[in-house]
Structure 1
Amino acid sequence: MLDEPIHFLANYLELPDWRRLGEHLPVEWVEQAVQSTEATSIRHRRLPAEQVVWLMVALAIYRHKSISEVLDDLGLAVPDSHSPFVSKSAAAQARQRLGSEPLKWLFDHCARHWSEQDSKAYMFKGLQLFAMDGTTLRTHDTPENREHFGEQLYASGAIASYPQVRGVTLTALPKHIVRAAAFGPYGTNEMLYAKRLITEIPDDSLTVFDRGFLSAEILTTLIQNGRNRHFIIPAKSNTKCEVLEGSEDDYIVRMCVSPQARAKCPELPEFWQARAVTVTDQHARKHILLTSLCERKRYKKVDIARCYENRWGIETSYRELKQTMLGTALTLGSQTVDGVYQEIWGTLIAYNLIRLEIAKAALVVKCDPTEVSFIRAFHLIQFELHWAAVTRSYGKLPASMKLLRERLVSLLKDERSDRKFDRVVKAKPN
């Protein structure tokens, strides 16, 4: 069943130069991201700010390679006959000059634009389908990272071996494109990150939440501050509600807003209502789903259950990000706080680019984007971008071989025998 979409994807990506991805990520957007955050390079450099933006996207696609390899293989540095290679220190300094804000600006701008593309082809009864959930990422154990991001504290009193980043994402379920994201210290509650993303949910949409986001402030804000915005969220075991009307497994309930919540947010009403639907999962376990889709004739019980089942697509999205793109690495590659944020935004941009290519291909062959293997598409883009960069023309092959030999020599010169690394024993993560 998947052979046809995969075969088509291979043909669809037969010209995947950086210009190929540039169809979705125009140079003007990159320039605007740099200029809007005042990161423009004034001096003439081998790695101007615009090229560093592309470098961060490329590093996410070629995570198994060093920064020097990516620069050399894809030819991202401005050519210089006197110095054909860019040193690691120069690349690190270029990243520090750029900072993380241009990558965040570019992600926000691209994500909104890409999630809207072809959205009508994947609607549920006129509504775009989204999911919101949280995740965590480990960072290198440096004093700066541990102070800023913090770490998990266990009930036994033990402290996690690595600092952790906490984040919440809003993902378009049919295409798995991340529409919006918020990341920060591990100690910040997911609810605070979720509140930042509520404004990013578009009108005429249905968002499926994890039960941890069951909050009157989040759900009432979603409905009141937009047009035709709806939610589905499972009720907690201790959720208290008053049944107003309806049948045994499909009824309207009223819930009281706690005084503590109203004290924090005086705009909240005293009560809020929702439709409660009882569904049975594949393990014969019953769950109560709360939703703002109160029209029983238009939104049947089976429709609500099916939409909630699609929520697990966001978990697939996290798996594609962490296991496929990040290579199941224990930590992110960057060792500074700003570098961590920079790496996260660059990875999300690269992930959305791959997902957008898959969605475009699936639309042509009229299949679901999730039917196309993400791993296969990811490997195709890795291979083709590398091949297009190295073999731009057969006449340049001798020059490429010469550069290869020069690069090997430069690597030998860069080795330093006086470098020392302290041994650190870390506990295995559970």
Structure 2
Amino acid sequence: MSVQQHLLDLGDLFNFSDLSTFTQNIPIEWVASALDLSSQATIRRRRLPADQVLWLVLGMALFRDEPVHEVARRLNICAQGLATDHLLARSGVTEARKRLGSGPVEWLFRKTGNQWGGERYRDDSWQGLQVFAVDGALLRTPDTPELRDHFGSGNTPTERQTPFPMLRLVALMNVRSHVILDAQLSPYRRSEMRLADEFLEQVPNQSVTLFDKGFWSADLMLRLSGQGISRHWLTPARKNLVSEEVVRYGKNDRLVRMKVSPQARKRNPDLPTHWEVREVSYEIQGKLKTIMTSLPAATYSANAVAKLYQERWEIELGFRDIKSSMQQNAMTLRSKKIDLVYQEVWGLLLAYNMIRREASQAAVAFGRAPSDIRFKPACQYIAVQLIVMAAANPISAMGRRLADLRAGVGGMFLDHHPRPSRPRTVKISKTRFPVDRKAAPLK
């Protein structure tokens, strides 16, 4: 019997609508296909089967301050529907996660990210182009010999190691909906640029992708713009770039020609010896900034291009939402095995995307843009509602509960009012010692 058929036969024991926010967004066929990747897939009816372990991994991302076995109890995750300490041992949760592995969670994240990341919403384009961003972040793992040997750690000026092993994350994000289309995880020593190479083909047509300066590469940029239709890029110029002017479009707008480095041509012999790039300069806070782009000057003005690059910070906000709002500022991941670390992070990214998509659907219902909804209150609201839904009858009024949830999320819009100006002032530092204002000045 296939895993798909087995899951469909579980209706009498478990209904996927227990977590209706999850299952409304993720079709059961996707779940079945993901679980089919698990090498431990079996028709044996376990106390904590793989289908529910998948929801448990997602619950771990939403309840970071709770132990894993408590997350299972809160979400009512168990074959019998009563995940109490008597029915579900703590060691059983860990073993169930090991049986599931990281592969199914990673597959499900990529499937949903590719599907949701390209969805169109109100005001989600820039002059007809969808806007994406690529950037990297670091996550800290527990300090065990196994994890340190696999993930490695950061550079230090001495031979001393950094306190914790580090995992590298590079993501491709839709900056208007903040949904992550794709991502790569790796040990610390792998290059962000090489990781970005692996999901380059996921960038949709009719788009512009914003890069940090650390991704500057003729190979990367030429392949992005050369594949597909109207796939453009934008990145800050690196210092000390040697170029020659080809065409002058305006005072701070020109086309330049640069040599492709021998190292890049050795890695990819198909690269040309030279390539041409548009260079746009602009002033911000009294400093002159320069960006490079493939956007043609005939269609996109220099002012518009310069303003567009400011949206690159949206991906930084997405990383902040994951680290601060979802992880509740917990600096270290909770898993202590290599595969479970990857499973935890893939579950974190999947849960983040589901919150973003649910918020986007709420925004559409209110005629607003997805980026108008505040992430942290939406995350907390959905987490609380999941506990309520898990304890309720899964069948009756499911559609009404989901509509109520989206209505609640829709009440969390940002207020786009200008912030009052508060000039910076230098204040005396706080001290626990009394200050003698009559004391004589120091000589």
Residues 274-313 of structure 1: CA deviation (Å, up to 9, x unaligned)? 11111122x22111111101133x2111211121001000
Give me the whole-angstrom Cα distance separating, in 2, the residues matched to 1:106 and 1:267.
Answer: 35
Tell me what 1:412 maps to. Answer: none
Tell me what 1:142 maps to. Answer: 144
Which of these residues, 260, 285, 288, is aligned with residue 286 of structure 1?
Answer: 288
1:341 to 1:317, Cα distance in 2 relative to 1, 3 A: same
Tell me what 1:374 maps to. Answer: 375
When the two chains are superposed, the root-mean-square deviation of aligned CA atoms in Å is 1.8
Give me the whole-angstrom Cα distance separating, in 2, the residues matched to 1:269 and 1:333.
Answer: 47
* Conserved 8 A contact 1:39-1:102: no
* Conserved 8 A contact 1:222-1:230: yes
Residues 210-249 of structure 1: CA deviation (Å, up to 9, x unaligned)? 0010100100110112221100001011111111011331
Is residue 271 from structure 1 mapped to residue 274 from structure 2 by the alignment? Answer: yes
Tell me what 2:57 maps to. Answer: 56
Give me the whole-angstrom Cα distance separating, in 2, the residues matched to 1:187 and 1:327.
Answer: 27
Residues 103-126 of structure 1: CA deviation (Å, up to 9, x unaligned)? 110000000001122257511122
Tell me what 2:41 maps to. Answer: 40
SS at the partner of 1:277?
strand
Tell me what 2:196 maps to. Answer: 194
Please identify, of 359-368 and 254-263, the stretch whose mean Cα deviation from structure 2 is larger. Answer: 359-368
Give me the whole-angstrom Cα distance separating, in 2, the residues matched to 1:210 and 1:81.
Answer: 48
Tell me what 1:422 maps to. Answer: none
Give the AA of the match of 1:261: A
Tell me what 1:127 maps to. Answer: 129
Instruction: State the 1:17 CA deviation.
Output: 6.1
TM-score computed with the length of structure 2 as normaliser: 0.82
Is residue 248 from structure 1 mapped to residue 235 from structure 2 by the alignment? Answer: no
What number of residue pairs does the alignment pair up?
376
Please identify, of 64-73 and 167-176, the stretch whose mean Cα deviation from structure 2 is larger. Answer: 64-73
Give me the whole-angstrom Cα distance separating, in 1, the residues matched to 2:70 and 2:296.
Answer: 56
Instruction: State the 1:55 CA deviation.
Output: 0.8
Give me the whole-angstrom Cα distance separating, in 2, the residues matched to 1:81 and 1:340.
Answer: 27
Give me the whole-angstrom Cα distance separating, in 2, the residues matched to 1:80 and 1:314.
Answer: 39
Q: Any gaps of 5 or more consecutive residues in structure 1?
A: 1-15, 394-430
State, as a whole percentage, how many aligned pairs show the same letter: 36
Tell me what 1:211 maps to. Answer: 213
Give the AA of the match of 1:300: S
* Conserved 8 A contact 2:123-2:369: no
Give me the whole-angstrom Cα distance separating, in 2, the residues matched to 1:291 and 1:81.
Answer: 57
Give me the whole-angstrom Cα distance separating, in 1, the residues matched to 2:28 and 2:161.
Answer: 44
* Conserved 8 A contact 2:147-2:336: yes
| Structure with greater helix percent | 1
* Conserved 8 A contact 2:76-2:83: no
Give me the whole-angstrom Cα distance separating, in 2, the residues matched to 1:230 and 1:140.
Answer: 39
Instruction: State the 1:365 CA deviation.
Output: 2.1
* Conserved 8 A contact 2:148-2:165: yes
* Conserved 8 A contact 1:62-1:70: yes
Tell me what 2:356 maps to. Answer: 355
Tell me what 1:3 maps to. Answer: none
Tell me what 2:322 maps to. Answer: 321
Is residue 227 from structure 1 mapped to residue 237 from structure 2 by the alignment? Answer: no
Give me the whole-angstrom Cα distance separating, in 2, the residues matched to 1:269 and 1:290.
Answer: 18
Tell me what 1:151 maps to. Answer: 153
Residues 303-337 of structure 1: CA deviation (Å, up to 9, x unaligned)? 11121001000010010000110111121000011
SS at the partner of 1:187?
coil
* Conserved 8 A contact 2:210-2:309: yes
Give me the whole-angstrom Cα distance separating, in 1, the residues matched to 2:87 and 2:319.
Answer: 35
* Conserved 8 A contact 1:34-1:50: yes
Tell me what 1:406 maps to. Answer: none
* Conserved 8 A contact 1:119-1:128: no
Tell me what 1:295 maps to. Answer: 297
1:234 to 1:102, Cα distance in 2 relative to 1, 3 A: same
Tell me what 2:176 maps to. Answer: 174
Tell me what 1:237 maps to. Answer: 239
Give the AA of the match of 2:68: I
Tell me what 2:428 maps to. Answer: none
Residues 338-392 of structure 1: CA deviation (Å, up to 9, x unaligned)? 0110000000000000011111122232323222111110111011111222354
Q: Any gaps of 5 or more consecutive residues in structure 2?
A: 1-16, 395-443
Give the AA of the match of 1:193: L
Give the AA of the match of 2:276: Q
Instruction: State the 1:51 CA deviation.
Output: 1.2
Give the AA of the match of 1:357: E
Which runs of structure 2 are paired with 1:19-30 in the superposition (5 Å)?
Answer: 19-30=20-31
* Conserved 8 A contact 1:235-1:288: yes
Tell me what 2:113 maps to. Answer: 111
Give me the whole-angstrom Cα distance separating, in 2, the residues matched to 1:38 and 1:336.
Answer: 17
SS at the partner of 1:161?
coil
* Conserved 8 A contact 2:175-2:312: yes
Instruction: State the 1:82 CA deviation.
Output: 12
Give the AA of the match of 1:97: R
Which runs of structure 2 are paired with 1:375-390 in the superposition (5 Å)?
Answer: 375-390=376-391
